[in-house]
Amino acid sequence: MTALPAFESPPVTEVVVSAQFEPLPKFAIPQMGLLWQRFRAQYPRTEQHPALPSVVERLGIRSAMEPQFRFEIEREPAVRLWFLNETGDQLVQVQGDRFIRNWRRVPNSDRLYPRFYNSILPRFTEDYRAFCQFLQDEQIGQPVVNQIEVSYINNIVMGDAWHAHGDLGRMFRGWSRDALLDRTLESINLRASYFLKDAAGEFLGRLHAVIQSGYRTEPGATEDEAVFVFTLTARGRPLGEGEQGMFEFVELAHREIVLSFAKMTTDEAHAIWRMKPA
């Protein structure tokens, strides 16, 4: 298998690994509180957020990146609980049909991206198994996973290579300066979706790529910095039954994201992020 591209200083600011499963009726707000007791030593902080809607990639159905509206009658408010460590860079999210594990770069932190196979995947595995053990101990049931999702969020900040959003083509391939129409580019929002298929060519899910322009303000800065937020999300069904099928899709999703990141960005950008020799 071909080695994946690697960078010494990638612009990644958040990585998300998510398992969506069939709803567990017995896993409600009280049980989420009990689950926190299992995680509290590692994640002493909590936050409450609205639950995320269920998303399933289907062939022949419009991309899940498009807005979808549905009306449901809930017996009680659907919530999503966050369990965070002290610094807030590691967190677990749980709701009635989903388990999510995040790493994110927090402001004023010098911690580097901890790497997928060294930290992200092992921590997801450990925490997901602890979650499943809790469900078993409390006789709640076991998750029947229907979708796996891996997301990488990259903040590409204005610097030596580019100075305004009109310099998009210096960071991303396939963009011509002719598209600027001899005008100043104020903002951009590009979205693309690609099929993911298994070895037999059967539909598995989709890879979603989003490039959005924006600005950020650093503490003590006199003006906002231009930034491109580049998000790559791979989502689809497990490649088989049980935990093995789930993790096989995680591996595929990670590989597709890393390869696509390298293909969609320029050699000039690779030099800034210090791409390692193959």
- Give yes or no for a contact between 22 and 56, defined as CB atoms under 8 angstroms apart: no
Sequence-distant (6+) residues with CB within 8 A of 55 are 20, 64, 147, 149, 235
Q: What is the mean pLDDT of the chain?
A: 90
User: 275: which DSSP letter?
Assistant: B
Structural element, H or E, at residue 94: strand 90-95
Sequence-distant (6+) residues with CB within 8 A of 25 are 96
As given in the structure block, the two tokens for residue 215 are: 């600005």
pLDDT higher than 90, residue 76: no
- Which of 69-78, 111-120, 144-153 is predicted with the least confidence, judged by mean pLDDT? 69-78
The number of CA neighbours under 13 Å toward the Cβ of 53 is 12
**Would you place residue 74 in the very low, low, confident or very high pLDDT band (cuts 50, 70, 90)?**
very low
User: What pTM does this model have?
Assistant: 0.91
Sequence-distant (6+) residues with CB within 8 A of 156 are 11, 171, 227, 228, 229, 230, 269
* Diameter over CA atoms, the chain: 64
The residue ranges of every structural domain in the chain are 12-66+77-272
Bridge partner list, 82? 47, 93
- Give yes or no for a contact between 236 and 208, defined as CB atoms under 8 angstroms apart: no
Distance CA 275, CA 1 (A): 19
User: 249: which DSSP letter?
Assistant: H
pLDDT tens for 228-253 read: 999 999 999 999 999 999 999 999 99
Distance CA 36, CA 84 (A): 10
The pLDDT value given to residue 73: 46
User: 65: which DSSP letter?
Assistant: T
Sequence-distant (6+) residues with CB within 8 A of 210 are 65, 189, 190, 191, 192, 229, 230, 231, 232, 233
**Would you place residue 128 in the very low, low, confident or very high pLDDT band (cuts 50, 70, 90)?**
very high
Q: DSSP string spanning 105-150?
A: PPTT--PPP--IIIIIHHHHHHHHHHHHHHHHHTT-----EEEEEE
